[in-house]
Amino acid sequence: MGQLYPPFPTVKGRRFIGGPRRLLAAVTGALALSTGLVAVGPPASAAALTQVTGFGSNPGNLSMYSYVPDGLPASAPLVIALHGCTQSASDYYAKSGWPKFADRYQFALVLPQTTGANNANSCFNWFDSNDSVRGRGEALSIKQMVDTAVARYGSDTSRVYITGLSAGAGMTANMLAAYPDVFAGGSIDSGLPAYCATSVSAAYTCMYSPPNKTPAQWGDQVRAAAPAGTTTWPRVAIWHGTSDTTVVPANATELRDQWTNTWGIGQTPSRTESLSGNTTLSEYDDASGNPAVQVYSISGMAHGLAVDPGSGPEQCGTAGTYYLDTICSSYHTARFWGLDGSGNGGETPGNLPAPTGLTVGTTTDTTVSLNWSAVPGAASYNVYRGGTKAGTTTTPSYTDTGLTAGTPYAYTVAAVDAAGSVGTPSSSVTATTTGSTPTCYTASNYQHTSAGRAYQSGGQTYAMGSGQAMGLYNTFVTHTLKQTAPGYYIVADTGC
């Protein structure tokens, strides 16, 4: 039959040496995060999965495939979906269920693909710093695919999302940390914390016995990977089976700690909910009361992607090796990201186009006025604040009330037809209410940075907004910071 793997597994030409036991582990363990080959089914619509060439310098030696629904409007969302080891873009396209929701919710879908030339088991190299940090290797190739898709399909740059399974999930976590300015949200399916490993040997530890770091330590890894001064983070969904022995469920806990800390919120759920497929959903809200982090724990599920074959509105995918018949993760993730047009689910998407010309009018300390161009055929309009419906109006204008002073709010609007079907949401605008209440915080430079009141660069700490120097980034130097406006702090050691 011939030899399936080379005598010494290689990652981009670098030999992995360690004898038969390490070879077996490389085939079945950390280097692999193996997720099985599957057959490719027919496309979901007249559109088809198509390879895109010439998408940039492509330092990571990846291939780009895309699925664009027929009649996709301009300013539609964009979803990047990363396959697992031994899989391909076509595998993931056929089995994950994402094309169904690309058709239903009208977004472009891009599926990057790696091969055995990069990794012996066709895994994304989530554990290799040459491929997983901002501006390098496979990570940069994926970013170039985003840029190409935005240019080709007119995608809304404020609604770009990324998801992945297993090794693809490990890369997804890294991409969310390295490019928070690119991705509005992500979904990590049977994956690991961002930058849990930077070598093959460390990957084994992360998979089978992840480091038990504090939330702040995990969050620091995200902040260190992101551009200096980053204050806006992606919304993250975490999916994991309780019987996963390939990437143990403890990774989901560490992922929760990492992303809740990054957001500056606690590790106690704001709410929990029981879903189908023996799934428990735990949500962690941001300061505005919207879910920033979701954890889906699927009782009894092993390693793989959660799918739920069928034609029902909440079903998707095809069961098979590492595609496990439990619950449609793609459906729930799409709703979490707001791809269904509401950000909160429960509405039937229609065919009305996205409203244009959304602008902010008068703002006060508790109100925001919005205006937009009327959409022919619209019976009413839904207004969304932070992805959650704030109200409905029959005219192309709306005043949102009961807001907090000195606070930024993101808005979108969608037209609703006479049958109640909700059309494509508009591009987002941000309005900031007037006024603010100065607040003072005394803490170490490390604590200020962890809380988002400061940032570090080159080992030095600087106040967020004002950029005032605060000294070394450590736990020994203490300052008082005064918040004078949202996201703006000044050093106020002499009095506050």
Q: Which helix (H) or strand (E) holds 252?
A: helix 250-263
Give the C-alpha separation, 8 to 18, whole Å: 8
> What does 279-315 look like in DSSP terms, one character per residue?
EEEEEEE-TTSSEEEEEEEETT--SSEEEB-SSSTT-
- Write out the H or E segment, with its range, that includes residue 204: helix 200-208
Q: Which residues lie below 8 Å from residue 477, measured CB to CB, with a gap of 6+?
A: 444, 445, 461, 470, 471
**Active-site annotation holds for 166:** yes
What is the CB neighbour count within 10 angstroms for residue 147? 14
Quick one: DSSP state of residue 268?
S
H-run or E-run covering 227: none
Beta bridge partners of 410: 430
Q: Which of 63, 96, 141, 166 is catalytic?
A: 166
Nearest to 201 by CA among 32, 64, 346, 30: 30
Phi and psi based region of residue 305 (left: phi greater than 0; alpha: psi -120 to 50; beta: remaining): beta
How many C-alpha atoms does 408 have within 13 Å on its Cβ side? 10
Q: Quick check: 159 and 153 in contact, CB under 8 A?
A: no
Q: Which residues does the annotation mark as catalytic? A: 166
